[in-house]
Amino acid sequence: MSAVHLPDGYEPPVPVEELSVRSADGVRLHVEVHGQPGAPTVVLAHGWTCSTAFWAPVINRLADRYRVVAYDQRGHGRSEIPPSRARYSTRALAEDLSAVLARTVPVGERAVLAGHSMGGMTIMAAGGRPEVAERTAAAVLISTGPGELVAELTVLPPGVRSPGLRRFLHRQLLRSRLPLGPVSPVSRAALKYATMGPSSPAGQVEATARIVHACPTAVRANWAAVLDRLDVHAGLARLAAPTAVVVGTSDRLTPPVHAHRMVAELNNPHGLLLLPGVGHMSPLERPAEVAAEIHRMAAEHLVGVGVGVGVGAGTDATAASASADSAEFTDSADERTAVA
């Protein structure tokens, strides 16, 4: 059986700087800095079972224009595994983000924060924290939700009609402690079904599988317990920075219903971008569009960023591009759909 190769641009780039940051409870976080020293800063927070490698195709599209900071969430990648279950919480996520920002964004400067899945929940959990707000110019919440995750999962087929049974089975899937084992054709197929759009090519699925399978089983399960009872609505309501929301229309883990709720609850919503046919792993499935949306928010809200990459200023932009790739948009007042 021939090996599946990663697409161009999906290999993790070599950072220009690596940092070790201690969070409030002492857990050590691995932080990478990419791109242009002295340029406006973008901070990326990845999701459950992922790592900084998840952001590779997005970093590769932003690094020629920004100073891009990416960090491994606690227990993931090269960050320290918390010594007890008590160190897994939305408060810990918020404190980790605060520590990373304090180390990488100087006082008086601000960054655009972009979070995917649990990374978006991290930004919401930190909503209202003064030390985070003063370093945040804008935010992009990608394929994420503020709560009710188990109730809204659509991983199981529609044939399981009982709401109670669906929640029970979804909870068992979410909190499973079974090891994922090596990447195989079966595991790739299962992961693609649960987390990606049906048209995702083999290389993207392989990139996702390598990242997810590298997450330690206990870390995966302990964070699943946090996600099971997640409620960061209060933090979302306190998030003052202008915020854009991105979601794939085929996302089974955080379906578009979450995105619409977030837009309704945000103080300062700056658009909802729907990606047709895209699943939960939107930064891997459609990195050009995700990078373009981050750039759009930076161009509008970060000092020192021009619009030369092709993103029009303002919420009525009709075209966006990131590096050599581009995406076209159709606009309404606060909802846009990317055209494949």
pLDDT in tens, 97-129: 999 999 999 989 999 999 999 999 999 999 989
Q: How far apart are CA 220 and CA 211, in angstroms?
A: 12
pLDDT, position 291: 98
Residue 172 pLDDT grade (very low, low, confident, very high; cuts 50, 70, 90): low
Is 10 contained in some domain? Answer: no
CB under 8 Å to 285, separation ≥6 — which residues? 196, 197, 200, 204, 248, 275, 278, 279
Is 56 contained in some domain? Answer: yes
The tally of CA atoms less than 13 A away on the side-chain side of residue 267 is 15
Contact present, 67 and 39 (Cβ < 8 Å): yes
- pLDDT digit string (tens) for 216-234? 999 999 999 999 999 999 9
The whole-number average pLDDT for the span 176-203 is: 85
| Range 294-297 contact pairs with CB under 8 angstroms and sequence separation of 24 or more | 294/42, 294/58, 294/62, 294/112, 294/114, 294/140, 295/62, 295/65, 295/320, 295/322, 296/244, 296/320, 297/112, 297/138, 297/139, 297/140, 297/242, 297/244, 297/270
Is 1 contained in some domain? Answer: no
Contact present, 298 and 42 (Cβ < 8 Å): yes
pLDDT, position 310: 37
Residue 231 carries which DSSP code?
Answer: B
The whole-number average pLDDT for the span 290-317 is: 68
Which structural domain range is residue 38 located in?
A: 17-339
Contact present, 292 and 320 (Cβ < 8 Å): yes
Is 9 contained in some domain? Answer: no
CA distances from 101 to 96, 118, 209, 245, 295 (A): 9, 17, 29, 21, 19
Q: How far apart are CA 326 and CA 315, in angstroms?
A: 17
pLDDT, position 329: 35
Model confidence, pTM: 0.88
Is 22 contained in some domain? Answer: yes
Is 154 contained in some domain? Answer: yes
Determine the residue type at 141: L
Number of domains making up the chain: 1
CATH number at residue 328: 3.40.50.1820
* Complete edge-to-edge strand list for the sheet that includes strand 17-22: 17-22, 28-35, 67-71, 41-45, 111-116, 136-142, 243-248, 269-275, 335-339, 325-331, 319-322
3 vs 322 pLDDT, higher one: 3
| Stretch among 128-142, 149-163, 252-266 having the lowest mean pLDDT | 149-163
Is 183 contained in some domain? Answer: yes
Is 7 contained in some domain? Answer: no
Q: How far apart are CA 78 and CA 20, in angstroms?
A: 10
Give the pair of three-digit tokens for residue 11: 């290999």
| Stretch among 50-59, 64-73, 75-84, 160-169 having the lowest mean pLDDT | 160-169
Residue 241 pLDDT grade (very low, low, confident, very high; cuts 50, 70, 90): very high
pLDDT above 70 for 197 = yes
Report phi then psi at 152, rounded to 5: -100, 0
Give the pair of three-digit tokens for residue 291: 């990078």
> What mean pLDDT, rounded, does the chain reach?
86
